Chain A
């Protein structure tokens, strides 16, 4: 049992401690100590990234808190430069995020803002933005390291008569949050949290790592969010919410038996103590029924083991049961845990990217990729009056409704875009590259188990299965776009033809008459003949345009019918639940 116990220990402990060798003596460092020395791993690798990561972690926390409590989120962001930073080429940045969430009790404040891996969401199998409880503590650490100031917090829950304010600092040696200068104050809101950081950073507004790119991106994938922001001395900008329906938080699901490693399996098993092994199988995993257990037995789990206490299984039994489970076909995991933005909401929010003259939105049904549920949603928007025909399209990537802003080229989403032949949809595209033109491609990926390439969650690591699913969504959106482009082309062609008839017909006849010196009566006849010829041409194009319009209208009706059916089945499900 010893070796397996160690394995489970390592697996469950993750990165909660590191070993360092000092003069042949093995010492243990705290998680906070590890991260304070490796902040680049969690998004603090440059001054620009520091601003963006601090903003991102604060806003993500606020959104998750509001959605958990069933509150329509209202978030305000203030960012300003306050002089020079302590490091070369940096500014002292003040960043404040205030929400209308449920608020945090004074006891929870130091844990949330000052303790690493203190999370309410870790391993719960939910598609929430935050997962491990690292990000916001890292932001506090960065502020502490660069400006010697922790996070200034104001918090008020519904139960509290007055708000509490104070400073949270990270006790790096002990990985503990410390709440200092605590005092009660009056606050003009019933509940919520306001967090303020002072730190070294550099403010980038636009582009891949820009804060505006992040804020606009967030508003696209969170149509229920009311977001106001103020940057430096500029006026407040407000994005009103486009949907008054709060996000329905999907239930957390138990892990699927095929997604576990042996070490995790052992750790999981030990939690069930003396409970029978059969109960462990049924309760610890999703998609395990009596029928499935029968199949496990067929594949090598001794029947006698099913009634044995979970903690009494020998090493050999554990290995045997684990491999029997892996060798049995188990129903794919449920897709209930993933959340869709929906075509309607996405259609409204995509218009926030600028003057959009056409958009195409696709929301795929949840699908299982690599034994994990995932939903892909795509919005393609064309910007009006943009002359950037030869520039690559702008790609907005989202994972669990959080914009991803760095290391674009390595991302599975970008790989999927590049793998589509956009030329067949009317866009220009250099070989193996992003398509070109004044388009915004927004792709959202939601899953409780997204594989990121790094802890700072900048790039999605995708299997072929996931890339293919994204590709399918893009192609669907591309087809809709192509129908529109085709119709536009036909329209332009017809217009062009009509213009040509009016412009060139009379000139051609006049000159022909001057060279050939024929009488006017013959020229009039020729003029009429020419109009007939050109008119026939224009009529053909008009008929083609009509057909293209008809096809587009049919596709629209079909899409509406699909949306209607989906809404009806949703209502039915709700009613049956009640």
Chain B
């Protein structure tokens, strides 16, 4: 078992060996080996109201060995060997680096030449295939990504990270000024504790990293015992697991502050809260069901007299957004579950009124006050003006 293994305590080398043995057994009998992987798509996704995230169904994708699939299978087994070596040695690689490792091996060994990859896309699809095959996270096979987002600010948070070599690193976020702490590889392996005697009162996840940064620059974390995090669009694996980590370890309220539009509700907020269909295997560790939607809420437009924009169904881009929102209402188990009625109502409102409003519009309430947004956020939290 790998010393770097994370997550769900799976013995990847053992699983891999069993998989290969199974294939050899079938081949000895001249029987076509069939590799079965979990189907990671919306039609195999179920929303579990108790856990609060999307879980996989029973559907599987089978790949049978034949002349057409022999190249894919050979490449998968070839990659599996590389990844097992990495686990053994503790080497960590990005997908891009793995692509060059594979290319290098094919270059130096003539026998392996037929396996050579023409593009990184080909190589990435094999890595994803392996993850689905042995039901593991990419990080569990020491393949990490340069995840964006997750820039975090707080005057009351200390993060301790267990490093690959077994040593520990401790970061006190209050000592970082206006610079952010950004989790990268395996936020699940972090240990969090408050710096002060009282833990932070809440964590605010802001859709726009720019707005998160200006909130901090204008003194948000000085005045408030809180954690501020920038999501930077659709949350990456790191942002999702980092949010879960904060929620699980500190047990504080989590608020999401973002635009009022279908994309934010359907892609950013839903993914942060309940995970995604593509990551069905990982949603248990990569979602934060406790997060609440603080705004912009439809009623805020009228209440604060905010400037909003028309969504034009004749514009191809807007029309696509509206169609996707309607599809989500019809097919996405998250929006179909009554537990998420509030968010579903927002999506319906957006489809009906065809409007959208940006988070920065709150500045209009008092344009001369640099902390106008902060005041509104605090007011909303205080009054419970959010959707769970």
Residues on A facing B (Cβ under 8 Å): 496-497, 500-501, 503-518, 522-523, 525-530, 532-534, 537-538, 541
Contacts and interface: CB of A to CB of B under 8 A. Distances in A.
Interface stretch (B21-29, B216-224, B284-292, B346-354): B21-29
B17 A511 contact: no
A505 to B, nearest CB: 7
Interface residues of B, number: 30
The 9 A-B residue pairs with the shortest CB-CB distance in the complex, in nearest-first order: A526-B27, A503-B114, A529-B30, A516-B20, A497-B67, A537-B67, A529-B27, A508-B74, A504-B74
A511 B70 contact: no
**Main SS of chain B's interface residues?**
helix
A489 to B, nearest CB: 14
A526 B78 contact: no
Contact of A508 (B29, B66, B77): B77
Given A507-B114, A515-B16, 5 more contacts: A508-B77, A523-B24, A525-B27, A532-B30, A534-B70
A84 to B, nearest CB: 52
B65 interface: yes
Contact of B28 (A503, A511, A522, A537): A522
Interface string B296-335: 0000000000000000000000000000000000000000
Contacts of A517: 17
A523 B21 CA distance: 11
Given A503-B114, A518-B21, A509 B27 contact: yes
B21 A529 contact: no
Contact of A526 (B24, B67, B70, B77): B24
A508 B70 contact: yes
Interface in B50-106: 65-68, 70-71, 73-74, 77-78, 80-81, 84
Contacts of B73: 504, 508
A26 B73 CA distance: 90
Contacts of A513: 24
Contacts of A525: 27-28
B115 interface: yes
A500 B70 CA distance: 7
19 contacts: A503-B114, A504-B73, A504-B114, A507-B78, A507-B111, A508-B70, A508-B74, A509-B27, A511-B74, A511-B80, A512-B23, A512-B24, A516-B24, A522-B28, A523-B24, A525-B28, A529-B28, A533-B66, A537-B68
Given A504-B114, A516-B21, A523-B24, A511 B78 contact: yes
A171 B32 CA distance: 89
B111 A506 contact: yes
A509 B70 CA distance: 11
A522 B24 contact: yes
B77 A512 contact: yes
B31 interface: yes
Contacts of B387: none
A497 B66 CA distance: 9
Contacts of A538: 67
A411 to B, nearest CB: 33
Interface string B20-49: 110110111111100000000000000000
Contacts of A532: 30
Nearest to B77: A511
Contacts of A504: 70-71, 73-74, 114-115
B234 to A, nearest CB: 33
Contacts of B67: 496-497, 500-501, 534, 537-538, 541
A511 B16 CA distance: 12
A308 B204 CA distance: 107
B112 interface: yes
Interface in B123-173: none
Nearest to A527: B27
Contacts of A506: 111
A530 to B, nearest CB: 5
Contacts of A527: 27
B81 A515 contact: yes
Contacts of B21: 516, 518
Contacts of B32: 533
B312 to A, nearest CB: 25
A515 B31 contact: no
A563 to B, nearest CB: 40
A494 to B, nearest CB: 10
Nearest to B66: A537
Contacts of B29: 529
Given A504-B114, A526-B24, A533-B65, A516 B17 contact: yes
Contacts of B28: 522, 525-526, 529
A376 B21 CA distance: 65
A407 to B, nearest CB: 33
Task: Find the residue from B29, B31, B77 having the highest chain A CB count within 10 A.
Answer: B77
Nearest to B113: A503
A528 B66 CA distance: 14
B27 A515 contact: no
B187 to A, nearest CB: 31
Contacts of B27: 509, 512, 525-527, 529-530, 533
A313 B312 CA distance: 72
Given A516-B21, A516-B24, A534-B70, A507 B115 contact: yes
Contacts of A509: 27
A507 B24 CA distance: 13
B141 to A, nearest CB: 14
A532 to B, nearest CB: 4
Task: Find the residue from A513, A529, A532, A538 having the highest chain B CB count within 10 A.
Answer: A529
A534 B23 CA distance: 15
B74 to A, nearest CB: 4
Contact of B31 (A503, A507, A508, A529): A529
Nearest to B82: A511
A73 B115 CA distance: 61
Nearest to A496: B67
Nearest to A524: B28
B80 A515 contact: yes
B62 to A, nearest CB: 16
B19 to A, nearest CB: 8
Nearest to A515: B20
A515 B17 CA distance: 6
A507 B112 contact: yes
A530 B80 CA distance: 20
Contacts of A541: 67
A528 B30 CA distance: 8
B261 to A, nearest CB: 32
B87 to A, nearest CB: 12
A83 B174 CA distance: 85
Task: Find the residue from B24, B84, B111, B115 having the highest chain A CB count within 10 A.
Answer: B24
B54 to A, nearest CB: 33
Nearest to A508: B74
B116 to A, nearest CB: 11
A522 B22 CA distance: 12
A525 B26 CA distance: 10
B123 to A, nearest CB: 16
A518 B114 contact: no
Contacts of B20: 512, 515-516
A333 to B, nearest CB: 53
A245 to B, nearest CB: 51
Contacts of A516: 17, 20-21, 24
A538 to B, nearest CB: 6
Nearest to A528: B30
A537 B30 CA distance: 13
A509 B24 CA distance: 8
A442 to B, nearest CB: 38
Contacts of B24: 512-513, 516, 518, 522-523, 526
